Amino acid sequence: MTVLPHRYGDHPDQFLELSLPVDPGPAPVAVVLHGGFWRAAYGVELARPLAADLAAFGYAAVAVEYRRVGAGGGWPHTLEDVAAAVDSLAGLPQVDRLDLRDVTVIGHSAGGHLAAWVAGRRRLPDGMPGAGPSVPVTAAVLQAGVLDLTAAVEQRLGDGAVVDFLGARPAESPERYAAADPVALLPSGVPVLCVHGAEDDVVPVDQSRRYAAAAAAVGEQVEVSVVPGDHMAVIDPASDAWRTARTWMTRRRTLGA
């Protein structure tokens, strides 16, 4: 496996790491977005183990770093960075190794929010951060994701992390929530799996269920898999929770769905 760093901007945190599989042909792409409640205390090191595992299973895996709250991030910069990182894949020197017709975005916790947002960003109006994607995603795996931001504010997830991220409460800036909240960007038009630990006391399973219910309300089916384990179990490459996600990805590719 080869790991190649690439910059998609000038800020120190605007970079991605591409892990290529051994097979030299074009590979399906898996973009891994780490969590940490959008805060600078947590970084791309959380994404690297999953990227390495995915590369070993034949994916061109992309671990993304981005600006976070406390280090130049928050609204709108974090969203702009994630969108720019995904769109930059088409310009990588190794683009011939990437099958950009098959791009799965995977995210944990706040990264789950970002993954769901990326899946739905085609619905954003012109002028909003992330609008007009040039590299669309074809599937999403949301691991213990923060997927309903208004509910997350009410639940005070991450000790007010959503308000810190967007710089306002929902009533103070409804336009920011409309542009950043995954439930507001449904239907995404792509297959989605939510994986959530039954014992998660950081982001409640209710967040995945709310997202699935919002999708169903607009005629889209989102699969929710509640698995044994806590908030971090879903990003342990040796866990059943991660195998559930990877098996879903493999099955989707096999069936061509």
What pLDDT, on a 0 to 100 scale, did the predictor assign at position 2?
76
For the chain, the straight-line distance linking the first and the last C-alpha, in angstroms and rounded, comes to: 27
Q: Report residue 145 as tokens.
A: 């994701």
Rounded distance between C-alpha atoms, residue 20 and residue 24, angstroms: 9
Identify which of 112, 109, 113, 135 has the alpha carbon closest to the alpha carbon of residue 122: 135
| Predicted local distance difference test score (pLDDT) of residue 8 | 98
**How far apart are alpha carbons 151 and 183 in whole angstroms?**
10
Residue 80 Cα distances to 62, 73, 199, angstroms: 17, 10, 33
CB of 184 closer than 8 Å to CB of 152: no
Model pLDDT, residue 252: 83
Kindly give the parts of the chain with pLDDT less than 70: 254-257
Is domain 2-255 classified as CATH 2.40.50.220? no
pLDDT at 256: 61
Asked if 207 contacts 151 with a C-beta cutoff of 8 angstroms, the reply is yes
Residue-wise pLDDT for 25-84, tens only, equals 899 999 999 999 999 999 999 999 999 999 999 999 999 999 999 999 999 999 999 999
The first and second tokens of residue 126, run together, are 């012109």
DSSP letter at 215? Answer: H
Q: In what order do the strands lie in the sheet with 15-20?
A: 2-7, 15-20, 60-64, 27-33, 98-108, 139-143, 192-197, 223-227
pTM of structure: 0.97
Q: Where are the domains of the chain?
A: 2-255
d(CA 152, CA 154) in angstroms, rounded, equals 5
Per-residue pLDDT of 209-219, as tens digits, reads 999 999 999 99
Cα separation, 115 vs 34, in Å, equals 9
Between CA 136 and CA 84 the distance in angstroms is: 12
What type of residue sits at position 6? Answer: H
